[in-house]
Amino acid sequence: MGKKNIVFVGILASSDSLEKLKINYGYIAIEQGKITKTGSIKEFERLAESGTFSGYQIIKLSANQFIIPGFVDCHTHAPQFPNIGLGLDRPLLEWLAKYTFPLEKRYKDTEFAAKVYDQVVQRLLRNGTTTACYFGSLHVDGTLELVKSAIKHHQRALIGKVSMNKENDAGYYNNTKQELADVETFVKSVISYQNELVEPVVTPRFAVSCDKELMDGLSEIANKYNSKIQSHISENLSEIEYVLQTNPDCKSYGDVYNKSQILNNRCIMAHAVHLTDEELTLLSAKGVSVAHCPASNTRLKSGLCPVRRIIDSNITVGLGTDVAGGDNASILDAIRRTMDVSTCLEMQGRPKYSLNWREAFYLATLGGAQALNLGDRIGNFDVGKDFDALLVDVYAKGSQIDQFAGALEKTDDEHAVELLEKFIFLGDDRNIVQVYVKGNLVKDTL
């Protein structure tokens, strides 16, 4: 644990855009958690010989290891982790009522919250998630335990205390006045930690559980503190129908949020499965980003999100695990399901809707960073950015990726590409042997 000046030498892979994946043999130098130099192997050898890297820790990667940017999870629900794998045979609104709200009520108990959240943060870091955008629960003190866990374990985190003021059978909601006071208290409390890795997010759960008065007030708080906003939109057809029935003056789900000034360039909306053309135009014009959550969209039978259509509408997209609607807390799983969902859409007659592994890798790294307005700090290996990164060993001991003797010979460049490809399709947390967040070593099984 702790920041050192380090130079990694070997295969480096990162994205500059959806279309541009860079994989090369070279070096990357880190000082006090920031990337200061990158270049070729020859340049490294020259600089090393001149003494430039004296006092640095030099890590030379093996032939089957590489460095990639840390994964970015743009949407997950920390209090729902104990429910992973439960109730996924039910539709969204029924699942929320039976499983989610009763569990989330327990986070009033800060001791319970602290124990769960410590496990959640450590699990995501082991999975290579260096940045997570979390929904917490309705409780200020309970959600502050998540803030403390992220700070303790050096995870980059955007954390929201969930807001709800519409009555439900679980009794899990606040009155509007109390809720707005609680949100402002939470935002100020997170800011008071003055931690460079953790920030508050204003979090109206969705228009099913928040009325206009509450959302108007939440948008004012977000503007007052220049906070990001997160919510859900157009996840499920029954949800959309309910939202339109209860907001008869609005022409679409997106219009509900827009009339409360929720939509802006600091806003990230999860799901966006069933957006109309008009809503896509609206979100694009407002600068809203989308968190694509393929696992929960399919597990809860919400639908197949047309990610390519959203991207083509000039909307920034990142990936989310959406635990516990999603049944896997790894962004590697989200990458694979993103490809599967897009392929299914293309097979249903949506030409050019599929996304390949290179594009899905971008969504998991730089795309996610840009969706959270962190693209100037993380997401790839540009000089000046923070070093949030994973050291991957494709044939790590005990992993499920086998190395076969006598396979086809490859050039060095082909070998490097195929290592990343194998990891994307077959890898798991066992292959992620080191994890760094702003130069802090937060996982080490090397």
Helix (H) or strand (E) holding 269: strand 267-271
Confidence of residue 2 (pLDDT cuts 50, 70, 90): low
Pick the CATH number of 77-372 from 3.40.50.2020, 3.40.640.10, 3.40.50.300, 3.20.20.140: 3.20.20.140
List, in order, residues 6 or more apart from 173 with CB less than 8 Å away.
138, 164, 165, 166, 167, 209
Distance CA 382, CA 91 (A): 43
Distance CA 399, CA 32 (A): 32
What is the pLDDT at residue 286?
A: 99
Distance CA 73, CA 63 (A): 29
What is the pLDDT at residue 4?
A: 82
Distance CA 18, CA 289 (A): 15
What is the pLDDT at residue 66?
A: 99
What number does CATH give the domain 6-69+380-444?
2.30.40.10
Mean pLDDT score of the chain, rounded to an integer? Answer: 97
Mean pLDDT of 192-200: 98
Helix (H) or strand (E) holding 221: helix 212-225
Distances (CA, A) of 386 to 68, 340, 441: 13, 32, 13
Contact indicator for 369, 131 with CB cutoff of 8 Å:
yes
Contact indicator for 190, 169 with CB cutoff of 8 Å:
no
Mean pLDDT of 128-137: 99
Radius of gyration, CA atoms only, the chain: 22
Distances (CA, A) of 372 to 38, 157, 174, 323, 434: 25, 10, 28, 18, 24
Query: Looking at the predicted structure, is the pLDDT value of residue 1 above 70?
Result: no
Residue scoring higher pLDDT (3 or 345)? 345
Mean pLDDT of 235-245: 96
Q: Count the neighbouring beta carbons within 10 Å of the beta carbon of residue 274.
A: 19
Condensed to tens digits (0 to 9), the pLDDT of residues 370-418 reads 999 999 999 999 999 999 999 999 999 999 999 987 777 788 899 999 9
- What values do phi and psi take at 190, rounded to 5? -65, -45
Percent of the chain with pLDDT over 70: 100
Q: 3-class secondary structure for 160-210?
A: ECEECCCCCCCCCCCCHHHHHHHHHHHHHHHHHCCCCCEEEEEEECCCCCC
Distance CA 202, CA 135 (A): 10
Q: Count the neighbouring beta carbons within 10 Å of the beta carbon of residue 272.
A: 29
Distances (CA, A) of 39 to 24, 92, 105: 9, 49, 51
* Placement of tokens 């929320």 in the chain: 96
Distances (CA, A) of 446 to 114, 397, 430: 29, 10, 10
User: What are 360's two structure tokens?
Assistant: 């899905």
Do the domains 77-372 and 6-69+380-444 match in fold? no
Contact indicator for 3, 36 with CB cutoff of 8 Å:
no
Give domain limits for the chain: 6-69+380-444, 77-372
Considering the entire predicted model, what is its pTM? Answer: 0.97
Q: What is the DSSP pairing of strand 228-233 with strand 198-204?
A: parallel
Query: Looking at the predicted structure, is the pLDDT value of residue 92 above 90?
Result: no
Condensed to tens digits (0 to 9), the pLDDT of residues 19-76 reads 999 999 999 999 999 999 999 999 999 999 999 999 999 999 999 999 999 999 999 9
Lowest mean pLDDT segment, chosen from 176-185, 348-357, 404-413: 404-413
What is the pLDDT at residue 416?
A: 96
How many CA within 13 A on the CB side of residue 163?
36
Orientation angle between helical segments 176-192 and 140-153, nearest 10 degrees: 20
Contact indicator for 218, 229 with CB cutoff of 8 Å:
yes
